[in-house]
Structure 1
């Protein structure tokens, strides 16, 4: 006796239901990180720079790049105002010489232009020389500092040499500045800081001339240069 057509369809439907149950039946957490040798889960937390970018490896690149010194809090008037900055308490490595920079304290007391960039960013390559031109034009009226937001510090130094840009900058491969000011996850980003360390404006856009930078500095920081 052969099964009826209805019976064959019922059997097929039962097979499909069983397959679906097997597919969604709970299993162990297959996506959990593999345990390390000590039994703890491994972590993929971001780092400010690669392990191979040690002082010895970076020394010749730093000498060639010849960056300007990072700003320092020493002798800065109204340094206490840095407590109002979202960057307060954040320290970074100075790309130019490897020293430690408390960024909020170093920028306190003067309006600042903080530029976020990365070595692989095309628009950043066009913008950095523009920012250097603006910095030369602004002189002591405004501090201009760069923040490299990729762990590859060696490539940052090589690119700055290629661009012939000598602006002071800090290494922030983990993107702490970007997170602290609530900047979008794009590059380049320019942050305008008031003298008290508070954020006047976050600008996720490239600048193509020193005049464009001067215009936003005048508009949001009230400094005409």
Structure 2
């Protein structure tokens, strides 16, 4: 899957405190709970750079970063406490998971980018049910134009757009996580992927209810 040449997607900007907090969390997990580290499950084998394990870690780290970015955007575009609370929860959860994924890549001694592009690790094209839009990096991810629109929206308009964009984002994330739950070989990573599926599906149900309250619906 390639990005549109006419509409290059911008690279998500990092959220320094969230990334730092996630890095600290990963360091503590690897130091005090070695069994949680992929590759430390009774074998010295580690995934290869072309494996589903490494591909999912790389791609989902990028995917999560945009969700964190959008959640911080909406924080300044609305005063609604329910939306702000949801955005905070999503930012915290996905920043921590992102830190774990990047920490595992460091542990495995693997690069955080791939010359094969995004999603090359997914064996079954049928997994790609929620396709990328022109200008987006991966399925579910927002385009530059959509991020700019969110940055300029206010109040309920911003809330609706955020909930719709995050619903799309979660749909793409669930697709990726399901693929890892089936294809990844590292037990810890498969378990994390399954938790992502369950958590994001629950959040999608909540976001559908919140959109309905605002006279709207997922796109």
Larger radius of gyration: 1
Q: TM-score, with normalisation over the residues of structure 1?
A: 0.29
More helix by share: 2
Higher strand residue share: 1
Higher relative contact order (CA 8 A, sep 6+): 2
TM-score (norm 2): 0.30
